[in-house]
A and B are shown apart, each in its own frame.
With several copies, the nearest count.
Chain A
Amino acid sequence: MRIKIRAFAGFREILGKEMIVEIGSGSKVADLINHLCEIKPELRGALFSDAGELRDYFMIMLNRRRLDLPEDLNADLSDNDEVAIFPPVAGG
């Protein structure tokens, strides 16, 4: 299935602004993240500590709804979902 990835701020500099990735049907958010870390190895250091734990300095939105991490790493993905990755907001 096809997932649209959007990335902002520092994550855009790693992943690019927007891309479509193909992953196996039945994939979860965690599978997508692993896939992205394989395509863009630089992403791993941005998302995980050296000990392999999820950092808390980023957010993920699935179809523009914010995920609660790490619980929602188990959320199911569907074809044509939009997943956005970005750091804490700093507008205004």
Chain B
Amino acid sequence: MISDGEIDLVEILGSSIKPDAGAVVAFVGVVRADPGVMGLEVEAYEEAALEELRRIKEEAIARFGVSSVDVVHRTGRLSLGEVIVVVVCGSSHRREAFQACEYVIDELKRRVPIWKKEQTEEGERWVRGDAC
């Protein structure tokens, strides 16, 4: 999911905490106070991002056998310390939940069309992506 409103951790975690999933692993990405950075603006190619997130989710379920994968990514203006992304994987066993959660956030950062612009004391700058 892509959302321009604050991410509700309780809601996204709560939906994975069920009797059939003994292990839930969550990754929470937070806007970090890097030197000079005052905030972030996040932009997404929403339709393509949602398609890619769906593919990544299916891959994680097929590879690791987890029972649920939920992802929410923020867009818009974010302050330092705000939640920018949440990945939650539910599984009957913890090893697979950890692996799936790490896989999803790694692939999200590599593949999902989302960009960040940092507000710094010297002005704004786009965060450079790694891969092309």
Contact = CB atoms under 8 A, between A and B. Distances in A.
Whether the complex brings A and B within 8 Å at their CB atoms is answered yes
Interface of A: 6, 8-10, 12, 56-59, 61, 64, 84, 86-92
Contact of A91 (B47, B108, B131): B108
Question: Which secondary structure characterizes the binding site on chain B?
Answer: mixed
Given A84-B113, A90-B130, A92-B108, 12 more contacts: A8-B45, A9-B43, A12-B43, A57-B132, A87-B115, A88-B132, A89-B113, A90-B115, A90-B128, A91-B108, A91-B112, A91-B113
Contacts of B131: 88-89
A87 B114 CA distance: 10
Interface of B: 29, 42-45, 47-49, 51, 73, 84-85, 105, 108-117, 126-132
Contacts of B42: 91
10 contacts: A8-B115, A12-B43, A61-B113, A64-B51, A88-B128, A89-B114, A89-B129, A89-B131, A90-B115, A92-B84
